[in-house]
Amino acid sequence: MGFWTRVRLPSTPFERVLESVMFSAFFFCYTQGRQNLQVCSRQEYGWRSFVIIHGCKLIRRTVYIKILFQMVTAIIDKKAACVMLEKDYNRNIETNQNIGNAVDIGLYHQWEVINSMKYDYLIVGAGLYGAVFAYEANRKGKKCLVVEKRDHIGGNIYCEEIHGIQVHKYGAHIFHTSEKNIWDYVNQFAEFNNYINSPVARYQDELYNLPFNMNTFSKMWGITTPQEAKDIIAGQIADLNIREPKNLEEQALSLVGRDVYEKLIKGYTEKQWGRDCRELPAFIIKRLPLRFVYDNNYFNDRYQGIPVGGYTKIVEKMLNGIEIRLNVDYLAHRQELEGVADKIIYTGMIDQFYDYKLGVLEYRSVRFETEELAMENYQGNAVVNYTDSKIPYTRIIEHKHFEFGQQPTTVISREYSREWKKGDEPYYPVNNDRNNGLYEQYRELAAQEKKVMFGGRLGGYQYYDMDKVIMAALEMCRKELGNCNM
Ligand SMILES: Cc1cc2nc3c(=O)[nH]c(=O)nc-3n(C[C@H](O)[C@H](O)[C@H](O)COP(=O)(O)OP(=O)(O)OC[C@H]3O[C@@H](n4cnc5c(N)ncnc54)[C@H](O)[C@@H]3O)c2cc1C
């Protein structure tokens, strides 16, 4: 026999006190009824915190007071915390000194509850890939459990609202695709606005439109016609006379000439990779599209926009009605979790899954410095690239412009590119020969897995735009579940 309820965390101090009194009364009644009691509080979705009470047996009054204290502290601190008692509490309660450590106890005993259930799919990671798979599997009547090590869903497309502004916490995300079916698919979950990405590059005090187009060339050389621009670029390339580019610098110079390279490519690329362009391999830049039209639309795709109200809502809708456990690292609880489902969809890092036994795959990471400013408009554009090597950051994102925000304040994020090391957020895979070879070896290991399937940008060690992640997840759905919602 059990009891399960969810209570939204109250927001005012008065509501919090009221809530604590309510819990107090609830616990008291329940313990008096000599029933087995399990208490757990956790964060979920955009709700700051939930308290879940799941009960069955008896607890002692002293323990009850300790739990109550933990509950109130968790509520006041607005933290995710769990307190769960063992079924066989009588034997353990005397020795269980850990009762003060609510989170540990919660996580430890949660597995008892999970283990008594059986799922068709355990989905590791509540990012876009995991969410698409979970949504489709759920629609097919499959029972899914999603575990996510962060304290929120959404993976890297997660948005956090700050004073009405959707802040792209893990970097600016613009949805763009040429695939009508993917555009229709994602539009089921959100309404998209008509944002068009038109970044601006700042080199010292000069501003240039991106991508490289007639607006850029006109500003750079004071010219007006495409032919003039073509002649200048061709002249610069001919003067350099680079036959076989030996590094990224020579490659870029041979494609766009000296002016565009020095003002708009060199500094930015060196900051991105943390190395001089002459030390970087030529293959990083395969081509540099030059547009001889006055068009600042960065993407060539037919469909583009930003979901009104942010990306998190998309993932929230996808995961609606599906069991999610936040703050749960699959790898830290592998033993408890691997038996709970028939199959596992793993969207974390593939090398970490194998404890890096073949070697470590490399990434570039980014540090975001986010600041709220008491002004309406900081830079007049969502994305400004800083192409001068003396400025330490690569870009400043002003989030409100993604949604044409009219708020009285603004939020900006400076992006600092940096080397990735274990423990950092892995953002961009470094797909050079060494890493691609290593990934292939991991992929061979993965192919031997009976019940684990790898997916997403970390599972596949590949930079995927969002539309490509949705396509890849739907492809996995088709293989696993048959025809899907397209
Ligand atoms: C800086 C940046 C900017 C981008 N901009 C764009 C853009 O403008 N347009 C575009 O289309 N795409 C963009 N992308 C790509 C986009 O972010 C990805 O396509 C998408 O987020 C990938 O989804 P995913 O589910 O594969 O991975 P993720 O979003 O990384 O989700 C994986 C989830 O798994 C969780 N996880 C990992 N390991 C474990 C574990 N052991 N246990 C439990 N949970 C775990 C992680 O915490 C994470 O939440 C950008 C990417 C970056 C890095």
Q: What is the pLDDT of residues 59-75, one digit of tens each?
A: 455 555 666 666 666 55
pLDDT digits (tens, 9 = 90+) for 94-121: 333 333 333 333 333 344 444 446 899 9
Name 416's bridge partners.
367
Q: Which of 226, 251, 284 is the last residue of a domain?
A: 284
Q: Which two tokens stand for residue 100?
A: 């003060």
Residues 122 and 70 in one domain: no
Which segments in the chain show pLDDT lower than 70?
Answer: 1-117, 485-486
Q: Is residue 290 part of a domain?
A: no
CA quadruple 219, 225, 228, 232: dihedral sign: positive
The finding on whether 457 has its CB within 6 A of some atom of ligand 1 is yes
- Does residue 337 contact residue 113 with C-beta atoms inside 8 Å? no
Taking only the tens place, the pLDDT of each residue in 146-156 is 999 999 999 99
pLDDT at 18 (0 to 100): 57
Do both 123 and 69 map to the same domain?
no
Does residue 405 form part of some domain?
yes
Residues 91 and 141 both lie in one domain: no
Ligand 1 centroid from CA 457, angstroms: 6
Q: Cα of 318 to ligand 1 centre, how many Å?
A: 16
Query: Which helix (H) or strand (E) segment is 122 a member of?
Result: strand 119-124
Angle at 381 between CA 292 and CA 153, to 5 degrees: 110
Single out the residue of 173, 127, 157 nearest to residue 399, CA to CA.
173
363 with 322, same domain: the answer is: yes
Nearest CA to ligand 1 atom 45: 125
Taking the centre of ligand 1 as the mean of its atom positions, its distance from the CA of residue 5, in whole angstroms, is: 32
Residues marked as catalytic: 287, 291, 364, 395, 415, 463, 465
Instruction: Give this prediction's pTM.
Output: 0.80
Ligand 1: residue whose CA is nearest its atom 4: 173
Q: Is 40 in the pocket of ligand 1 (CB under 6 A)?
A: no
Q: What is the maximal distance between C-alpha atoms in the chain?
A: 89
261 and 364 part of one domain: no
> Do 457 and 329 share a domain, yes or no?
yes
Are 139 and 272 found together in one domain?
Answer: no
- Ligand 1: residue whose CA is nearest its atom 8: 173
Tell me, yes or no, whether 22 and 72 share the same domain: yes
Q: At 459, which CATH number?
A: 3.40.50.720
Q: Is the CB of 253 under 6 A from ligand 1?
A: no
Ligand 1 atom nearest residue 427's Cα: 53
In a domain, 112, yes or no: no
| Nearest protein CA to atom 29 of ligand 1, as residue | 155
**293: which DSSP letter?**
S
Does the beta carbon of 127 sit less than 6 angstroms from any atom of ligand 1?
A: yes
Total tally of structural domains belonging to the chain: 3
Q: What is the pLDDT of residue 12?
A: 57
366 lines ligand 1 (CB under 6 A): yes
* 316 and 189 co-located in one domain: yes
Residue 302 inside a domain? The answer is yes
Contact status, residue 93 vs residue 60, Cβ threshold 8 Å: yes
**Per-residue pLDDT, 84:** 39
Same domain, 304 and 195: yes
Q: Is residue 291 part of a domain?
A: no
139 and 261, same structural domain? no
* CA 128 to centroid of ligand 1, rounded, Å: 7
58 in any annotated domain: yes
Is 43 part of a structural domain of the chain? yes
Specify if 289 maps to a domain: no
Q: What is the pLDDT of residue 66?
A: 62
Residue 459 Cβ < 6 Å to ligand 1: no
Domain end among 89, 107, 125: 107
102 ligand 1 Cβ < 6 A: no
Residue from 186, 306, 326, 457 to probe ligand 1 pocket by mutation (most atoms less than 8 Å from CB): 457
- Given 259, 284, 309, the domain boundary residue is 284
Domain containing residue 453: 117-210+296-486
Same domain, 10 and 156: no
